[in-house]
Amino acid sequence: MDNITHTLIGATLARTPIGRAGRGATIALILASNAPDIDIVTSAGGALRYLEWHRGPTHGPLGLVGLGLATAGLVLAGRAAIDRWRGSPAAGSSSRNASYAAITMVSMVGVLLHILMDLPTSYGSRLLSPIDWHWYAFDWMPILDIYLLGTLTAGLLIGQRWPAARRRNAAIVLTLLTVDYGVRATAHERALSLAPRVFGPALPAPCDGAPPRRLVDRWPRSAAATKTGPAGRCLLETAALPGFGSPFRWRLIASLSNAYLVRDIDLWDDIWQPAPTEAEAPWRLTRSYPNEWTAPVFQASTTHAARVFLDFSRFPAVNASVNRDGITTVTWVDMRFSTPLSRPRRGFEPDRERPTPNLFGATVRIDADGRVIDSNLGIGN
């Protein structure tokens, strides 16, 4: 989730019984609700270093305890400094001071909620790092939910206008947030259930050894599944990713052994309401993107930049091209962040479309003698 939403969640929780811990509880909740994103400091070492540590230990068990303790210490030190400056606690506030134990518990609640709110997003989080560096996600929420943001903002503004109703408003807001999550979770399951109908005959049989669908998605995969079926194509995974606007708009991605199938759908579209008929063929609007690993691709994947990106990327699609000088350029993009064309063009040929360039990618260049020239994050046009 974005930091504005995390901040608003902390401020909303401060109006519940959690905020009654005493003086310092509110600021502790707000700071702790943003604390896991302290990993931004690693960007001082460059984008590669940041991506390597992004949503890592600060979003895991060590972050929960360490950041909770650090936030509590910071709040208590700040409160003591303010009291010394004002002369006495009573001069600044009539509220009783929260104890160190109370501030610590409140801070850990704030950190925990940050971690849990990142988990339902399609972006994911390395929930168990540094013990386990895999990413986990539910795929229910976009990274920025306008309904969540609007509800939290409205609740705080109303509470500011009518202080006596703050706790009741906070309860209403938290109930509405629960409804929002419930609607998106239900819509997510509906979108996934439509995948066989959307992709139709373009969807191959599952790969041998492909893991069964889990409640919580996990990546990167530990090993490639065995290729089966015509031309070695088989299905590894199907995912439904939320849109930023309507909770009923989803992007379906079918990860195959050598390609990706992509289709944006609206669950309110009339085509999905009745039972399927023999005449319908929605799969004709599906986009197919190649993902074929050749010898240069495998070599490029051993570079540090490629390894960091592939550890981050859930659906990495690769493309390799050779120029007249014999230099091979290998690029990866994450299909989660690549925008397919909204309408199919005439003369569409499967596996000939390319993902649009975006910052979530990696580029490696290899010369004619097989030496790596350079490697970095991002791809150009």
Could you list the residue range(s) of the whole structural domain that residue 77 is in? Answer: 3-187
Residue 225 binned pLDDT confidence (cut-offs 50, 70, 90):
very low
Q: Looking at 156, 187, 218, which one is the last position of a domain?
A: 187
Kindly state whether residues 145 and 224 are assigned to the same domain.
no
Judge if 201 and 315 occupy the same domain: yes
pLDDT (0 to 100) of residue 126: 96
Asked if 251 contacts 263 with a C-beta cutoff of 8 angstroms, the reply is yes
My answer on whether 121 and 213 are in the same domain is: no
Helix axes 100-118, 3-13, angle to 10 degrees: 140
Q: Which residues pair with 253 in a beta bridge?
A: 239, 262
Q: Same domain, yes or no, for 204 and 164? A: no
pLDDT at 169 over 80: yes
Give the span between the Cα atoms of 117 and 186, in whole angstroms.
Answer: 17
Phi, psi torsion values for 362, nearest 5 degrees: -145, 145
Choose the final residue of a domain: 168, 187, 206: 187
The token pair that represents 131 in the structure block: 């013990």
Once rounded to an integer, what is the mean pLDDT over residues 315-333?
93
The DSSP output letter for 72 is: H
Whether 26 and 52 map to the same domain: the answer is yes
- Please give the radius of gyration of the chain, using alpha carbons only, rounded to the nearest integer: 24
Per-residue model confidence (pLDDT) at position 227: 43
CA gap 338, 332 in Å, rounded: 11
Overall number of domains in the chain? 2
Q: How many helices (H) and strands (E) does the chain have?
A: 11, 10
Same domain, 198 and 118: no
pLDDT tens readout for residues 194-214: 999 899 888 999 988 777 778
In DSSP terms, 361 is beta-bridged to: 333
pLDDT cut 70: percent of the chain above it? 86
Q: What tens digit of pLDDT does each residue of 43-92 get?
A: 999 999 999 999 999 999 999 999 999 999 999 999 888 888 887 655 54
Give strand pairing partners of 169.
none
- Span 343-360, average pLDDT: 48
Residue 37 shares a structural domain with residue 155 = yes
- pLDDT at site 353: 53
**Residues with Cβ < 8 Å from 169, sequence gap 6 or more?**
15, 155, 158, 159, 162
The 10s digit of each residue's pLDDT in 279-290 is 566 666 678 888
φ/ψ (deg, to 5) at 98: -75, 140
Q: Which carries the bigger pLDDT value, residue 294 or residue 353?
A: 294
Domain match, 9 and 103 both: yes
For residues 150 and 66, membership in a common domain is answered with yes
In terms of domains, do 180 and 264 share one?
A: no
Residues 355 and 232 in one domain: yes
Residues 225 and 175 in one domain: no
Highest mean pLDDT among 48-57, 213-222, 357-366: 48-57
- Pick the last residue of a domain from 169, 187, 205: 187
The pLDDT of residue 188 is above 50: yes
Q: What is the pLDDT of residue 355?
A: 56
Non-local CB neighbours of 275 within 8 Å, separated by 6+ positions = none
Average pLDDT, the chain: 86
Q: Tens digit of pLDDT for each residue in 95-114?
A: 688 889 999 999 999 999 99
CA distance 224 to 209: 9
Q: Report whether 60 contacts 126 (CB < 8 A).
A: yes
Tell me the average pLDDT across 191-196. Answer: 93
List, as one string, the DSSP characters of 265-301.
EETTSGGGSSPP-TT--GGGG-EEEE----HHHHHHT
Rounded to the nearest angstrom, the gap between the alpha carbon of residue 126 and the centroid of all alpha carbons in its chain is 10
Say if residue 315's pLDDT is above 70. yes
